[in-house]
Structure 1
Amino acid sequence: MSESIDDERERIREQKKREMQERLENGGSLDAADADGEGTAPDKPIAITGQGHLDEVVEEHDVVLVDCYADWCGPCQMMEPTIESLAAETDAAVAKVDVDAHQQIAQQLGARGVPTLVLYADGQPVERTVGAQDRGTLEGLIEQHA
C-alpha cells in the first residue's frame, strides 16, 4: 500500500510540474493567483483573513483543507511541514485559520480543540478531524473527495 501512495504522490508532483511548465510556456507566471484555470490550487497555504475570504476560497476551489491552528499549539507546529507539503503536492487548496485571531470563524468550523482540520468538497464540509493527523490520513481524505 505504501508503494501505491508513493506512486500517487509522484503522479501528482508530475502533474503539477506539467501545469507549471504549461503556464510558463503560455506567458503566465508561477503565481497561482494568475492562473487561468479556475479552481487551480495554490502550492502554499492560504492565510484566511476573515469569513468572506474563507467563503471565497471554499467557493473557488473544488477541494479545500482548512487547518484551524494556534501559534502556541505544539501539535499544530508539528503538523506545519505536513500542511505545507499537502498544499504543494496535492490538488487541494489548503487554508489556515488562526483560532486566536479568528475566534468566530473557528467556532463556526466547529474547532473546539486545535488542530482541527475541516475538508470541504464542492463547497460543503465533508470531513472533520481533531488533533494531529499523519500525512497519509490527510492525503487519503483529500483523494477520496477530489
Structure 2
Amino acid sequence: MSESIDDERQRIRERKKRELRERLENGESLDAPAKAGDAPDEPIAITGQGHLDEVVEEYDVVLVDCYADWCGPCQMLEPTIEALAAETDAAVAKVDVDAHQRIAQQLGARGVPTLVLYADGQPVERMVGAQDRGTLEGLIEQHA
C-alpha cells in the first residue's frame, strides 16, 4: 500500500511541476495563486481518515488543528485558525478529537489543541497548546 501512496505523491508532484511550468511559459506570475488547488479561505472540517489524506495530498502546506468543543484553549485559538485559513496560502484542516479519536491518535494528539503542520504531504511540526498567530504564520511561511 505504501508504494501506491508514494506513486500517488509522485504523480501529484509531477502535475504541480507541469502546472508551474505552464504558468511560467504563459507569463503568469508565480506569486499569484494558482487557479486550481488554491487553499480554501475557511477551515476544512475533516470527516474521516481518507478525507484527511486527500487534504494533505492536495495542498502543499496544511495546518491540522486537533480540537474539542469543550476545550477553552481551542476556543481561544479558533479566531486565529480562521484567520490563517483566510489569509495564508496554507490549507487549514480541523479534526474534532471526540468525533475522530483514531485520527487524533494517529496525529499524536495527546492533548488539545494539538496542531500538526504538513508540508509536501509530510508532518514537519507538531505543537500542543494554544499558539500565537505570529508563530503559526512563521511556521507556515517557513514551509511554504
| Structure 1 residue ranges, 4+ long, deviating more than 2 angstroms after superposition | none
Q: Residue type matched to 1:73 in 2?
A: C
- Per the alignment, in what secondary structure is the counterpart of residue 36 of structure 2? coil
- Report sequence identity in percent: 89
Aligned residues: 114
- TM-superposed deviation, 1:37: 1.5
Runs of 5+ consecutive residues of structure 2 not aligned to the other structure: 1-31
Q: For the residues of structure 1 that align with 2:100 and 2:138, how far apart are their CA atoms?
A: 28
2:125 matched to which residue of 1? 127
1:27 matched to which residue of 2? none
2:97 matched to which residue of 1? 99
Runs of 5+ consecutive residues of structure 1 not aligned to the other structure: 1-17, 20-34
Pairwise CA RMSD:
1.5
Aligned match of 1:114 in 112, 115, 135? 112
Q: For the residues of structure 2 that align with 1:36 and 1:140, how far apart are their CA atoms?
A: 24
- TM-superposed deviation, 1:36: 4.2
User: TM-score normalized by structure 1?
Assistant: 0.75
User: TM-score normalized by structure 2?
Assistant: 0.76
1:86 matched to which residue of 2? 84
Q: For the residues of structure 2 that align with 1:50 and 1:37, how far apart are their CA atoms?
A: 23
Note the 1:1-146 alignment, pairs <5 A: 36-38=35-37, 40-146=38-144
